[in-house]
Structure 1
Amino acid sequence: MMSLDLPPPIAAYVDANARLDVDAMLEPFAAGAVLRDNGAAFQGHAEIRTLFEEEVVAVRAIFTPDTVRHEGDQVVVEGPANGDFKGSPIRFTYRFTLAGDAIEALEVTA
C-alpha cells in the first residue's frame, strides 16, 4: 500500500478501520461530528458507532485510500473498500472536514 500524506485524524481512522476497531475508529471524531453515508446523516459518537458496527465491521469493510487532495476546507480521500458485501470492492470517496485534530464531518459516497 502506498503511503499517503494523510492528516493525523484521518490516518488514525484509516489505521483503525484496517483493524476493524470501532473504538479506535471513533476516537478521531469530534463529539458532535456528523457522518453522511449515501445521504443518511449520523450525528455524535453513539449514532456513528452504530453505523460502524452495522455497516463496516459486520461486513468487514476495509477502506484503502489511494489518493488524497484538498478541496477548500475539505480533505478528499478516495480508494477501494473490500469486504463481505455485494459488489466488493467498491470505490468510495470520503470527504473529511477537520477542526483542529478532530474529524468534524465526513461524507461518504460510492
Structure 2
Amino acid sequence: MSIDLPDAIDAYFSSDKTGNAQALSELFTQDATVVDEGNSYTGRDAIRQWMANASTQYTYTVEPFDIAEDGQRTIVTSHLVGNFPGSPVDLRYFFVLRGDKIAGLEIVP
C-alpha cells in the first residue's frame, strides 16, 4: 500500500532504504534528537553515526503503511523485516517537523 508522506518524511524513508547515513542526517535540523531502542542521539553527527551503525549491523526493509497526526507529531506506522531480533515488527515513527527538516524522531514498537 502506498501512502502520501510529507516530503521530509518521504526523504527519510528513501534515505533509509539506500543506507546513506550522511544523506539521512542532512534531513534533520542541527539540534534534532532521535530516540531509538531506548537510546537518544542529538545532533546531525550523532544521528549520522546511529544510522551508519544500524545499516551495517542489520539488513532490513521498511514499508510505511499508515500515517496519522497527533498534535505536533506525524506518526508513521511501518512494517520492518530483517535479520534483527523480533523480526518482523510494526514500528511507529513519531516525527516532529520544523519547516522542511525533521526536528525529532522517536521509534517505538
Give the TM-score of the pair, scaled to structure 2: 0.91
Where do 5+ consecutive residues of structure 1 fail to align?
none
Instruction: Please list every run of 5 or more consecutive structure 2 residues that lacks an aligned counterpart in the other structure.
Output: none
Query: In the TM superposition, what are the counterparts of 1:12-51 in structure 2 within 5 Å?
Result: 12-51=11-50
2-side partners of 1:96 and 1:59: how far apart? 22
The answer on whether the counterparts of 1:20 and 1:60 sit within 8 Å (CA) in structure 2 is: no
Contact 2:19 2:52 in 1 (8 A): no
**Secondary structure of the equivalent of 1:30?**
strand
SS at 1:88 equivalent: coil
Count of residues in correspondence between the two structures: 109
Distance in 2 (CA, whole Å) between partners of 1:108 and 1:94 is: 5
TM-superposition CA deviations, 1:56-90 (whole Å, max 9, x none): 44202332110001111100000111222122112
Aligned position for 1:8: 7
* Poorly superposed stretches of 4+, deviation over 3 Å: none
- Fraction of identical pairs, as percent: 30
Aligned partners of 1:20 and 1:62 also within 8 Å: no
Corresponding residue for 1:81? 80
Q: Distance in 2 between matches of 1:7 and 1:27?
A: 16
User: What is the CA–CA distance in structure 2 between the aligned matches of 1:41 and 1:6, rounded to whole Å?
Assistant: 24
Scaled by the length of structure 1, what TM-score is found? 0.90
- Structure with greater strand percent: 2
Q: What SS does the aligned partner of 1:62 have?
A: strand
User: Aligned-pair distance for 1:40?
Assistant: 1.7
